Amino acid sequence: MVAFLFSLLLTLAMVGVVVRVARNRPVGTPLTWGEAFAAGLFVYVLLFLMYGVVPHQFLLWADSELKWRSDKIGIPLGPLGGIRLFGHHFKVLTGHLGIKKGLLFPEGIPLPHGHFIVTAQVLRDIIAATLYIAFLLVQIKAWLWWQSRDKRAAATAEIPASAYGRPLVRGS
């Protein structure tokens, strides 16, 4: 869990650096060779973290500590399955759902002609695929945001200002 959280926080910190540079760097400023090399390496490491390390660390955590394997039938609830306090077991999401051993639908989802078997490994794979999809959407949004920086700069430059730099309310 520590490796997954560290890689996720490192990825978020690197995205924050990209946002800060995009806001502070003037549009059209030429790059030196060293700046371009460092930026290319930075983006490579960021994409490696997003698409390689973070999903891998989640899958590793789910397989080892959480034990979300193919033989574990049901949807794991984690801390929502039940709370032990002073030796008593308080069930949070119980009732008619049939929660046993911290699993939702431990015999499968009941259907009119049998059960639909959902394993913990299926949930693990859905979460990993959701990580990939979320990272792809963030990457596309970041590309669009970076490329439209000049349009935002031009929109703010069109407001007439006084000699002191304040926006004019009425024409002079």
| Interatomic CA distance for residues 70 and 26, integer angstroms | 52
Predicted confidence band at 96 (pLDDT cuts at 50, 70, 90)? very low
Predicted confidence band at 78 (pLDDT cuts at 50, 70, 90)? low
Q: Express each pLDDT in 150-171 by its tens digit.
A: 776 666 656 677 778 777 776 5
Buried b (16+ CB within 10 A) or exposed e, 37-63: eeeeeeeeebeebbeebbbebbbebbe
